[in-house]
Amino acid sequence: MQSVTTQRHDDVLVIIVNNPPVNALSWHVRQGLKDGVAEALGDASVKAVVIRCDGSTFIAGADITEFTQAPKEPALGDTLDAMETSSKPIIAAIHGTALGGGLETTLCCHYRIAEPSAKLGVPEVKLGLLPGAGGTQRLPRLVGVEAAAAMCAGGDPVPAAKALEMGLVDRLAGEDSLAADAIAFAREMIAKGPRATRDLPVKGDASGIEAIKAANARKWKGFDAPYANLACVEAATRLPFDEGMAFERTEFMKLMMGSQSAAQRHMFFAERQAAKIDGLAKDIQLREIKKVGVIGAGTMGGGISMNFLAKGIPVTIVEMVQENLDRGVGVIRKNYEASAAKGRFTSEQVEAMMGALTPSLSLDDLADCDLVIEAVYESMDVKKEVFGKLDAICKPGAILASNTSYLDVDEIAAATSRPQDVVGMHFFSPANVMKLLEVVRGAKTADDVLSTAMATGKRIGKVAVVAGVCHGFIGNRMLSTRQAPAMQLLLEGATPAQIDKVHTDFGMPMGPFQMSDLAGLDIGWHRDPSKIETIRDALCAADRFGQKNGKGFYDYDAKRVGTESPEALAIIEKFRATSNLPKRDISDQEIIERTLYPMVNEGYKILEEGKAQRASDIDVVWIYGYGWPVYRGGPMFWGALEGEGKIVEALERHGIAVADSLKAKA
């Protein structure tokens, strides 16, 4: 199939790209564009050119799959130079999303016309890259330095109307008449002739760039690409175009050859791969989810409900006690109103979402729900009782899901007469914010139930990953292999702050002890202050429950900012002394080896047991469920980068049993 064709419309030649699914700039597209321009220049009767795309979108970027292959001619720069230096005006006709190399292609056209629904952006920074085909040098010449810096370093697209305001596009087309409007616009530009973006002066100066860095310092901590993008935009303000292009090329290659971009490109595909269920037909018939029931109006039940309400899906939320129900509904309203105050929703939208929420004190009100998600107390007995009742109440074909974090979904399913309709849907707290959804496949979960749960996750904006039934599924199971050694390291002389710092320096949002304080040290505590068998018991016995009461491993101020606690350290030291373990200095490397390597090891075991479909799914779980730094690509990607041999040697040195499949790779 020809990925680029041309059509003659009197004096205008239209070059049409058709390279599904997103018209990526694969080598044959680059060749086709170059040939199209040559055809136009070689025909005196052609006065102007339009470049447009078939399919759902204008060119959405370079073909990322080509990055790991030997480069193929023509280079994108050659194709774009042929366009920009054309003696006849070339117009880009934009629909869908003109992204990355796609947007850079439009910048090497002389004028741009876009459908009102189109979006334009340079998301390369999200791949650990920068626009490597002149985007950082041409954008400042069209939209100005400040806007160019925000687009390149932030990576978010702008809607066509804003692009028009910014000078990124010159004209808006009708929603359904882009092809014709583009030809007419091209004719208009014949008299004006080509306007090469490279010849335009840079608008504005670099004075605002430092402020952008300061405003994003926290978000960009550990990332290379945002700063490289800003350096290139800044270079445009002081270098002639060709030197700016050389600067951009150098910076682009540094990123392309670095581990961060490899990791972020890995995650781009990993996230999309996670949506696929091996062995299932792609076109499996899904169950229709028009009405959802949520049991439990606590933190999780409320957060889960918010995901559906925000997508216009009505929710019946059930509690056992009016007071708890009222509190839960109140928290949902408060959260929405807080978002509205930040401009995320209008007050009408808040009312509409609240209007779609039906509070209830009776499970019977779930009878007509298509999907019911249970988010009650994490006790197998309680869950089995609830599912037994749901089995009697819910209509045939309703999907019955548990939000359990650890428990055996098969055992829950066995409490019903319809185990094929039971699945785990494990949301991560706060459920209305965290993107990860572990969809736990029971032994008897029907294929269409599994597929519907995955599709529902995507529909409410989650990144869904299939997990098998085991204690803690994928994420929490690996988390637990980190917590035990972290506690042991305290007994050997490390401090919570030292261990947490190793993790936050690594790029995690928080370390093991900061996480414990956030969750609450008293979760699962036996509540007997005289029974002190662990450091956690000792802290709870001293009423140190974590952030919730201002003191745990750390002391917290009113804003919940933690500082090292002399009292907690004394309690830990007192307990440590009973362990008869010599106190020693512990290196940061040892902390990495004993808290992060075991997670990689557990990931291998999870794969051996078939509890995850693929290693990249495990990476997705950790990035979207726990904030693992995306520039490290997830635990399994990072483990491979560390080197399986190095990990096996360290685990064995620390007396940790190594997964067979990991040992085999060493």
Q: Which residues bind ligand T1G (CB under 6 A)?
A: 21-22, 24, 57, 60-65, 76, 97, 99-101, 104, 123-124, 127, 129, 131-133, 135, 269, 272
> Burial level of 455, CB count in 10 A (0-12/13-18/19+)?
middle
DSSP, collapsed to helix, strand or coil, labels residue 467 as strand
Omega before 159 cis (within 30°)?
Answer: no
Residue 604 has a CB neighbour count (10 Å cut-off) of: 23
Smallest distance from ligand T1G to CB 167, Å: 20
Burial 422-447 (b: 16+ CB within 10 A, else e): bbbbbbbeebbebebbbbbbbebbbe
Secondary structure element (H or E) that encloses residue 382, with its range:
helix 380-393
Q: Which two tokens stand for residue 182?
A: 């583009």
Smallest distance from ligand T1G to CB 104, Å: 6
- 73 classed as catalytic: no
d(CA 395, CA 39): 64
Which lies closer to ligand T1G via its Cβ, residue 46 or residue 99? 99
Smallest distance from ligand T1G to CB 427, Å: 22
Smallest distance from ligand T1G to CB 248, Å: 9
Distance of CA 161 to the CA centre of its chain: 26
Which lies closer to ligand T1G via its Cβ, residue 148 or residue 376? 148
Which lies closer to ligand T1G via its Cβ, residue 104 or residue 115? 104
Cβ contact 29:23 at 8 Å: yes
Smallest distance from ligand T1G to CB 57, Å: 6
Strand bridging mode 90-94 / 111-114: parallel
Distance of CA 5 to the CA centre of its chain: 36
What radius of gyration, in Å, describes the C-alpha atoms of the chain?
A: 28
Smallest distance from ligand T1G to CB 62, Å: 4
Cβ contact 516:621 at 8 Å: no
Give me the torsion for CA of 293, 298, 299, 301, rounded to 10°.
-10
Which lies closer to ligand T1G via its Cβ, residue 16 or residue 24? 24
d(CA 18, CA 35): 15
DSSP one-letter code for 125? G
Nearest to 323 by CA among 354, 352, 298: 298
Smallest distance from ligand T1G to CB 65, Å: 5
d(CA 421, CA 374): 14
What DSSP assignment string belongs to 524-550?
A: T----TT---SHHHHHHHTT--BGGGT
Which lies closer to ligand T1G via its Cβ, residue 133 or residue 182? 133
Which lies closer to ligand T1G via its Cβ, residue 22 or residue 647? 22
Which lies closer to ligand T1G via its Cβ, residue 121 or residue 512? 121
Give me the torsion for CA of 477, 481, 483, 487, rounded to 10°.
150
Beta bridge partners of 439: 425, 466
Which lies closer to ligand T1G via its Cβ, residue 101 or residue 511? 101
Please work out, in degrees rounded to the nearest 5, the angle formed at the alpha carbon of residue 165 by the alpha carbons of 164 and 168. Answer: 50
Which lies closer to ligand T1G via its Cβ, residue 236 or residue 373? 236
Catalytic residue among 84, 115, 124, 251: 124
- 104 classed as catalytic: yes
Which lies closer to ligand T1G via its Cβ, residue 79 or residue 445? 79
Smallest distance from ligand T1G to CB 97, Å: 5
Cβ contact 220:226 at 8 Å: yes
Catalytic residue among 39, 66, 84, 104: 104
Smallest distance from ligand T1G to CB 630, Å: 14
Smallest distance from ligand T1G to CB 20, Å: 8
520: alpha, beta or left? (left if phi > 0; alpha if psi -120 to 50): left
| Phi, psi torsion values for 312, nearest 5 degrees | 75, 20
Q: Residues with catalytic annotation?
A: 104, 124
